[in-house]
């Protein structure tokens, strides 16, 4: 069938793609995939399928969005084109732009949601974005605005109650920290997680006041997600409780032995 499927690959681990998403990849004649898509998912495409990398990472673009739009149209003549995106195609994935471009030309488009890294990465690590009596909302933003400064959405989110999830924000960490220091939130919890859900994941947790040093020591790099809010403080308190309980059980076991 000559159609386009926009598929969310999930947060990183290939096992976290939906069953329908996997079946769609396996039926592709052409696969256009992004930088954060796991190689194991690319390998699921049929042997006859064209596999084309169109990833964008920070300032390095192998194809502009306009070029990707054109490729979708050009290749749909061959058959089933699968556009495979990290996370969910409609969460900072420009999936709607691709949908509009194709539908204007009368090309059928199927959308298969994926787990968004915004919530899946935190859940994978046992970090909630909402928590009863602590955080009743969460706000997903990018750090960088059109002018290269901190985005207006992020600046407004710092005044809201709830958890702030910052995608593509590691390069703005210094400015993010400074903003929270200016509003006297030095002790607010913050987590930075690189390559979430993958075997080489790195994660650091702390407060606004100390996170830059922790990120530097851990060698955290992109891609990374930042979580800011009282839920991180609650997570740290829970971790301390678990560690103390583990230490006590180990000591008790030693004396019993």
Positions annotated as catalytic residues are 34, 56, 168
Pairing of strands 30-33, 50-53: parallel
């Amino acid at each position: 069938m000559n159609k386009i499927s926009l598929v969310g690959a999930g947060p990183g681990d290939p096992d976290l793609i939906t069953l329908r998403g996997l079946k769609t990849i396996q039926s592709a004649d052409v696969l256009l995939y992004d930088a954060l898509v796991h190689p194991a998912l690319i390998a699921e495409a049929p042997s006859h399928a064209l596999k084309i990398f169109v990833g964008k990472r920070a300032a390095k673009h192998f194809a502009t969005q306009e070029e990707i739009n054109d490729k979708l149209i050009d290749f749909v003549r061959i058959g089933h084109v699968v556009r495979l995106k990290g996370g969910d195609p409609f969460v900072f994935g420009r999936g709607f732009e691709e949908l509009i471009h194709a539908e204007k030309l009368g090309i059928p488009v199927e959308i298969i949601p994926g787990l968004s890294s915004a919530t899946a990465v935190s859940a994978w690590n046992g970090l909630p974005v909402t928590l009863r009596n602590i955080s009743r909302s969460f706000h997903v933003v990018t750090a960088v605005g059109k002018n290269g400064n901190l985005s207006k959405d992020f600046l407004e989110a710092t005044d809201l109650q709830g958890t702030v999830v910052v995608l593509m924000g590691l390069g703005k960490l210094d400015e993010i920290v400074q903003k929270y220091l200016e509003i006297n939130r030095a002790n607010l919890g913050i987590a930075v997680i690189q390559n979430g859900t993958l075997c080489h994941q790195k994660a650091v947790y702390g407060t606004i006041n100390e996170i830059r040093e922790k990120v530097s020591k851990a060698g955290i790099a992109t891609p990374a997600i930042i979580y800011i809010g009282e839920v991180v403080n609650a997570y740290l308190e829970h971790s301390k409780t678990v560690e103390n309980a583990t230490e006590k059980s180990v000591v008790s076991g030693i004396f019993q032995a």
